Structure 1
């Protein structure tokens, strides 16, 4: 199945910037039933510090699936670099646990 995101008008894109933007480096997801997925976004100072959650969104499963497809398409060009970075961070975390 080939996914093509819908076109967004310049006005709609501009309007999306009228809300605050928060930086997030951690998130949790949960199926909350009733056909919805909840995603909470937060930040951590380092991998071992507690998370401070800033916002959570509940999306219908269909929209969560669309988000997955859009993110995949958006990040496709960065995939080799991101996979390498992710594997390095995972190895560092595993070394820290065995120490």
Structure 2
């Protein structure tokens, strides 16, 4: 139950992060990540890399939680919440 809740929250927050990043870039904001900022001209490649990295993080957290390592999952969840709030405050 706890694993499915954490993974679901991470997936929702990941989608929200990608969505707010897309809105921000289309409104003229600059991505703060060095790797992703070099890809701002190619929006499809940027979104593909972001989604790929989010999937890798969620899969890694899933396997860590299966081995009873819950702290990295909580830290990543807190970071995703922080990033999403940061994006929302920048947009509005």
Query: What TM-score do you get using the length of structure 1 for normalisation?
Result: 0.29
Q: Which has the higher helix share?
A: 2
The structure with the largest alpha-carbon Rg is 1
Q: Which has the higher strand share?
A: 1
